[in-house]
Each structure stands twice: as structure tokens, then as C-alpha cells.
């Protein structure tokens, strides 16, 4: 990944889609994850909101827009949560899109800020994890899953991902060693992230020797469900500057749902439909990107994102993985927080993890996980395996606005 200075200044081509001029994304917040929590989702979301307000140095009433994602908030929705938290926003959204929630929340919030429907929008995602809540969440995940997947035994998404991993490995040439290289690199990155639940190093041999879960998926291909919350604020650049907040700008975004329904099994995601729109609108090329944060519920989805976002051609992912290093200081800094595979999957917060980490990178607040001179980052999301495939995909190209030093 070259550090092309001109990338950030390349003009976006004229198009019908309007840009995100004047929008600032700021105050990346993570409520430290725990494996199991006796609290409810309201507690985790409430803490994220409090942390955002504290981090921005504003009064609670100044947050006039809220966007919520959570699987375990039931029977409440975002509305009930507002009364619970004593909020009176004039703009409210609830985004049940799992791993795509972080990007999609940005798309909604950025437009609302541009249009003046809200001035300061808190985007929060969080879930609790009781000892039995994962089983309850997956058993009631969707009607198609209930009718046509859950009766087939896995009691969760492992079997669905095993099937598409099996197909992908046979048709697109990726091997377990390739997936293992990504997992090992993510673990190396996670060791520098104080929020990561995985604290022990992982070797490729350990990855390969792990017990099989659902062939060809083995233990380290699976995320660990946990409790946690993530959040960020969307406001005008003007407001961010006035508050002296370091922030990132939005160069481009995409989202797509139920892409390629005719594919007999999933081997690509919606990014493959929209990647040109993503990069053209931003006026940058994949080579200009300094780091990538993908949604990584299973390594095969990482491989698809490399291909479908245009970092390599379809079917060439094995060569791409072999030719690159994916650690923070590697040739292709990737999932620099450690990703869900090494940080943990806090329900819907998993769809925010990469986004919040990208904000840290671009505001110079990533600590030991900081990619040097990171100016352009790509975040992509993937969510909701409703029947046999993930339905929601999204991506955003973010760029450095003002970093910590500059904002102060």
C-alpha cells in the first residue's frame, strides 16, 4: 500500500451522488468488552452514549440525533432506549444490519447532519452477552433461518459459513494456511490493543491444529461472542473544530442488500457491485489506501472483501495474501484492532469495531495500534446471514481530518 500524498487531494469526479462535504466523524469510543455480562444492552448502550458526551465535552441535550444498533435490546427498540436514557432527540434511527451497521449508520447520520435535521448525532452499537443469550439470539435470528437453517443443526452461523467456505476454497483457491495467515496477523495486532479479549499470541501451527468445529471451519476461524459497545459522533466540521475534536472526513460510502440473489451460494458480496462507485466517488484507488478494516466474522469473508473491494482480482486472493503482511507495520495494515476474531464479537458492536478503529487511526489516537501516517482508510461491513448468505454489505472511505495535535 503506497502512501500517495496526492490521493487525499485528488478531486472526486462529477456524479449524481453528492459528496459528504462538511461532515466530521469523531470521538471513537469503545466500552471494554467482557466475555459474559450480567448487565442488559441498555447498560452497554448507555455507557457508550455517556462516553461520547464526555469525550466531546458537550451537554447531554446537545446530542439531538441518535442511531442505535443492537440485537439484545428487545423488547425495546431505539425509541424505548431514548426514554430509558432520558434523551429527547429530534432525529432517531435503529439499524438492524449487524455487521454493516457501522457504515450504514454513518451514511444515515452524515446526510442528516448535511441536511440540518440534526446537529450532533451519536451512533452507538452494543450488546450484552448473558451465558445463554447467544443461543437465544441465533434461534430467533430470522424467519428464513428459523424455517430453513436452524433445523439443520448448527444452532448458529457456523454451518452456513462452513458451507460457503467449503465452496470458496474449492473454487477460488484459498487454503487454510491463507486464512491462518490473516488470523495470526490479526492476533498480533490484537496484542497491541488493550480492548482485545484475546491476550495470547497465536501461531500458524496452533491455528492449523485447532479442533474442527464445522468442516472446514476450525476453532480460530470463529469469533467469540461477548458483551461490549462502540460509538462515534457525526457533526459538522465546523462544530468539530469549535469543540477542538480530532475528526475524520468521509470521502465515499456504499451499501447494498441482497446482492447477487441468483448466485447458488455466496462467493462474493455486494461490494463487487459497488466498488467502482465507492472509489470513483472518493477519487482514490485501492493502492492509495493506508489501511483496511473489514468485517471478519470468519476469515473467508475477509478474503471476499479483498477481492470484491478491488484490492486483488477474484480468484487471486491466495497470491495476494501470500504477497503481503497484514500486521500494523506490514505492507497491508489490516484489521488493526485485531478484528472480531481476536477482540471478540460484541453482537451489533461487531459492526462498529472496524469503523471505530479506523477513526482512531485517522485521528491519531490508535495508541500502539497506530498505522504510521495513516491518511486514507477503508472500512467495510457485512451483515445478517438471513438464510444461506450475508445480505448487507457496505463500505466507507475515510480520510484524516484533524488529528489530536492539530485539533488542539
Partner 1 sequence: MTEPLVKPKKKNPVLRTRLATLPPVPRSRSALGLTRAAAEGVFEMQVCADCGTVQYPPREVCGSCLSEHVAWKPVDNRGELIATTTLRHSNDLYFRERLPWRVGTVKMAAGPSVVAHVHEDCAEGGTVRLTLKLDRSGQAVLHALPEKDTPNMNDAPQLRESTCDPKFRRVLVTDGKSATGMAVARAMLEAGANAVFLGDASTWKTVPAFDKLVASDPRLQVVELDVTDTDSVDRLAASIGGKVEILVNTADYLRDGGILNRKDVNLARDAMEVNVLGLMRLAQAFGPGMCFRAADGSNNAVAWVNILSIHAHAALPARGAWSASKAAALSLSQTLRAELRGAGVRVMNVFPGPVDEEWEQLTPPPKIAPSGLAKAIVKGLQDGVEDVYVGDIAEELRTRLRENHKAVERELGQ
Task: Candidates 57, 155, 194, 319: give the one binding partner 1 (CB under 8 A).
Answer: 155
First to last CA, the chain: 30
Task: Candidates 50, 154, 277, 407: give the one binding partner 1 (CB under 8 A).
Answer: 154
Element (H, E) at 275: helix 271-282
Angle between helices 176-190 and 299-308 (to 10 degrees): 100
Task: Candidates 194, 212, 315, 319: give the one binding partner 1 (CB under 8 A).
Answer: 212
Closest to partner 1 by CB, 160 vs 302, is: 160
Task: Candidates 13, 75, 86, 151: give the one binding partner 1 (CB under 8 A).
Answer: 151
The verdict on 63 binding partner 1 (CB under 8 A) reads no
Nearest distance, CB of residue 132 and partner 1, angstroms: 10
The verdict on 35 binding partner 1 (CB under 8 A) reads no
Positive or negative, the CA dihedral 226, 362, 18, 92 is positive
Measured in degrees and rounded to the nearest 5, phi and psi for residue 165 equal -70, -45
Closest to partner 1 by CB, 83 vs 140, is: 140
Instruction: Please state, in angstroms and rounded to a whole number, the distance separating the CA atoms of residues 316 and 313.
Output: 5
Which range in 6-14, 79-87, 156-164, 269-277 contacts partner 1 by CB under 8 A?
156-164
Nearest distance, CB of residue 387 and partner 1, angstroms: 6
Task: Candidates 39, 85, 94, 146: give the one binding partner 1 (CB under 8 A).
Answer: 146
The verdict on 137 binding partner 1 (CB under 8 A) reads no
Site track for partner 1 across 159-188, x = CB under 8 A: xx-xxx-xx---------------------
Residues 335-363: b if buried by 16+ CB within 10 A, e if exposed: bbbbbbbbbbbbbbbbbbbbbbbbbbbbb
Instruction: Please state, in angstroms and rounded to a whole number, the distance separating the CA atoms of residues 152 and 335.
Output: 32
Closest to partner 1 by CB, 168 vs 326, is: 168
> Which ranges constitute the DSSP H helices of 317-393?
317-323, 339-343, 350-362
Site track for partner 1 across 231-270, x = CB under 8 A: ------------------------------x--xx-----
For 292, the 3-state DSSP assignment is strand
The verdict on 209 binding partner 1 (CB under 8 A) reads no
Q: How many residues bind partner 1 (CB under 8 A)?
A: 37
> Are the C-beta atoms of residues 33 and 346 closer than 8 Å to each other?
yes
For 75, the 3-state DSSP assignment is coil
Closest to partner 1 by CB, 135 vs 199, is: 135
Contacts 24+ apart (CB under 8 A), 106-109: 106/25, 106/234, 106/250, 106/253, 106/355, 106/396, 107/253, 107/255, 107/394, 107/396, 108/67, 109/65, 109/67, 109/234
Which range in 55-63, 122-130, 175-183, 206-214 contacts partner 1 by CB under 8 A?
206-214
The residue ranges that bind partner 1 (CB under 8 A) are 134-135, 138-139, 143-144, 146-156, 158-160, 162-164, 166-167, 211-217, 261, 264-265, 387-388
Amino acid at each position: 500500500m503506497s502512501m500517495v500524498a496526492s490521493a487525499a487531494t485528488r478531486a472526486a469526479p462529477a456524479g449524481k451522488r453528492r459528496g459528504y462535504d462538511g461532515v466530521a466523524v469523531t470521538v471513537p469510543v469503545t466500552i471494554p468488552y467482557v466475555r459474559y455480562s450480567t448487565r442488559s444492552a441498555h447498560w452497554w448502550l448507555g455507557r457508550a452514549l455517556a462516553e461520547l458526551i464526555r469525550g466531546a465535552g458537550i451537554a447531554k441535550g446537545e446530542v439531538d440525533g441518535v442511531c442505535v444498533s443492537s440485537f439484545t435490546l428487545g423488547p425495546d427498540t431505539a425509541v424505548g432506549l431514548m426514554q430509558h436514557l432520558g434523551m429527547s432527540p429530534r432525529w432517531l434511527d435503529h439499524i438492524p444490519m449487524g455487521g454493516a451497521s457501522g457504515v450504514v449508520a454513518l451514511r444515515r447520520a452524515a446526510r442528516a447532519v448535511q441536511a440540518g435535521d440534526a446537529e450532533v448525532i451519536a451512533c452507538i452499537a452494543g450488546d450484552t452477552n448473558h451465558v445463554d443469550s447467544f443461543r437465544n439470539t441465533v434461534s430467533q435470528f430470522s424467519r428464513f433461518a428459523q424455517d430453513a437453517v436452524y433445523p439443520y443443526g448448527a444452532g448458529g452461523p457456523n454451518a452456513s459459513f462452513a458451507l460457503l467456505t467449503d465452496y470458496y476454497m474449492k473454487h477460488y483457491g484459498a487454503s487454510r494456511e491463507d486464512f491462518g495467515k490473516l488470523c495470526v496477523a490479526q492476533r498480533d495486532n490484537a496484542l497491541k490493543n488493550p480492548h482485545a479479549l484475546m491476550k495470547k499470541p497465536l501461531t500458524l501451527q496452533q491455528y492449523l491444529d485447532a479442533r474442527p468445529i464445522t468442516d472446514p471451519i476450525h476453532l480460530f476461524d470463529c469469533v467469540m461472542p461477548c458483551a461490549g459497545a462502540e460509538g462515534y459522533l457525526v457533526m459538522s466540521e465546523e462544530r468539530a473544530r469549535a469543540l477542538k475534536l480530532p475528526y475524520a472526513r468521509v470521502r465515499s460510502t456504499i451499501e447494498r442488500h441482497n446482492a447477487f440473489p441468483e448466485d447458488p451460494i455466496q462467493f462474493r458480496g455486494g461490494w463487487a457491485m459497488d466498488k467502482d462507485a465507492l472509489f470513483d466517488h472518493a477519487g482514490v484507488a485501492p493502492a492509495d489506501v493506508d489501511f483496511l478494516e473489514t468485517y471478519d466474522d470468519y476469515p473467508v469473508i475477509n478474503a471476499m472483501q479483498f477481492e470484491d473491494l478491488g484490492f486483488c482480482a477474484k480468484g487471486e486472493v491466495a497470491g495476494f495474501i501470500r504477497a503481503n503482511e497484514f500486521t500494523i507495520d506490514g505492507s497491508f495494515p489490516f484489521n488493526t484492532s485485531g478484528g472480531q476474531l481476536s477482540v471478540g464479537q460484541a453482537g451489533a458492536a461487531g459492526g462498529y469495531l472496524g469503523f471505530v478503529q479506523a477513526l482512531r487511526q485517522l485521528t491519531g489516537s490508535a495508541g500502539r495500534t497506530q498505522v504510521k501516517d495513516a491518511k486514507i482508510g477503508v472500512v467495510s461491513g457485512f451483515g445478517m446471514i438471513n438464510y444461506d448468505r450475508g445480505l448487507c454489505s457496505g463500505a466507507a472511505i475515510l480520510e484524516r481530518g484533524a488529528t489530536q495535535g492539530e485539533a488542539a
